Amino acid sequence: MNRLRSIADLVSMEQMFALFIRGGMGFLFGFFIGIVAMMLTFWTYPGRAPIWLLVFTVAIGASFATFLSFLKPEVPNRVMAIGLGISLVGGIVGSWLGFLYAEVFYPDGVRNVYFISYGTVRSPAVVAFVMGAAIVSTITGSIYYAFRLFRYHEV
C-alpha cells in the first residue's frame, strides 16, 4: 500500500491534464494542418502530384502542428530541436503507414501504374495519409513530452 501511494504522489493531476490536453490539441491541429498541407500540394503542384511529395508535405504539416502543441518556449533550443525531430519522424512514419493502409483498402483511389496520386482531394484514400501522420506524430510527441514532464517536472 505504501508503494502505491508513492507512485500516486509522482503523478499529479496537473501533469495528466497537461499531457492529455496537449495531446488532444496536437492531434486536432495536426489533422487540420495536414489537410491544409495536402490541399496546398494539390493546388500548387502542376499536374498530378507524386505520392512521395504528397506524403512528405502532409507529414511536415501534421508534425509541425503537433510540435507546436507540445512547444515550451522556455526550454533550451536543443530540447526544442529534439522535439521537432521526434514529431517529424513520427509524422513521416505515420504518413507512410497511412499510405500503406490506404493502398490496401482503396487500391484504385491511391495510385495508378505510374505511382502518381490522383488529383482529387475528395478521395477517401488520401485522408489516410493525414490521419496516420496526425496519430503517429501525436503519439511520438506525447511520449517525448511525457518523458520531459515526469522526469523534469515541466508542466
What is the tens place of the pLDDT at every residue in 17-43? Answer: 999 999 999 999 999 999 999 889 888
CB 95 within 8 A of CB 133: yes
Per domain, the residue ranges of the chain are 25-152
* pLDDT, tens only, 89-109: 999 999 999 988 887 887 666
Report the alpha-carbon distance of residue 7 to residue 35 in Å, rounded: 40
Predicted confidence (pLDDT) at residue 114 exceeds the cutoff of 50? no
Low-confidence winner among 91-100, 126-135, 146-155 (lowest mean pLDDT): 146-155
CB 2 within 8 A of CB 93: no
Report the alpha-carbon distance of residue 87 to residue 94 in Å, rounded: 10
Of 30, 137, 144, 134, give the one whose Cα is nearest residue 82: 144
Report the alpha-carbon distance of residue 79 to residue 151 in Å, rounded: 14
Would you state the pLDDT for residue 113? 42
Q: For the chain, first and last CA: distance in Å?
A: 28
Predicted confidence (pLDDT) at residue 83 exceeds the cutoff of 80? yes
